[in-house]
Structure 1
Amino acid sequence: MKKKNPEKLIAWLKYLDVEYLDDSVTDVLVNLKINDVADQEEIINLAMKEEVNSLGEDYRLSLLRILDEVTSYPENEAREIIGRIGMPFDEPLLDYKAFFSRVRKQLFAPEESNSWGGRINF
């Protein structure tokens, strides 16, 4: 079995990077708590939803595959990659697996079955 590459997380982490985010979005995100489940929904909507929904199906599928691999990444490697990102929050992302599980459910759940014929399993 091929080892999963946690560097792929960058494709998702960029949406939380202050260098990538629009200033108006960053201004809202700084007041949210990345580790608060209630705030995570708003963070995902503000920082990710619009752009991810505008992507082509092939790229969205590749992003979905990354989300499906998150739990298999070596934890120390994944944390090192997450630590490289300048996020606008007061605290670091603690439970990245749970956060990216919420991302998956929030951005992909309505697409249980889609035009490319793939089935998204939950």
Structure 2
Amino acid sequence: MRQLGELEAEIMDRLWSWGRPATAREVRNDVNKQRPIAYSTVKTVADILHRKGMLTREKEGRAWLYRPTCTRQQYTASRMQEALEGNPDTAGVMLSFVEQMSPAEVEALRTALRAAKRRSDA
């Protein structure tokens, strides 16, 4: 998955945060709380995200309801995987990444590694 543009990220962030499908109008109304944006702009970008496979949509009355095809965590993980695949020194990249992590992030990584091990052992 490629990196999202600014408005694409705003739309996805709202849909991920809300945890429910939403119309372009609902998204536009929420974005308008911070800055003005046209409904047609949000609708166009939502349609682009649908074509890219980031959103599914279903008709509800005359409007489309948009829903993410992956979680925020799955999207972030795919971006991290792409970064690793593009470098011949995976271990070096991982070391540099871990050295920049906070103690809480390191503990979260340890927890995730333990959980992954349990899953693979099952």
Q: Same fold (TM over 0.5)?
A: no
What's the TM-score, normalizing by structure 1?
A: 0.30
What's the TM-score, normalizing by structure 2?
A: 0.30
| Larger relative strand fraction | 2
Higher relative contact order (CA 8 A, sep 6+): 1
Larger Rg: 2
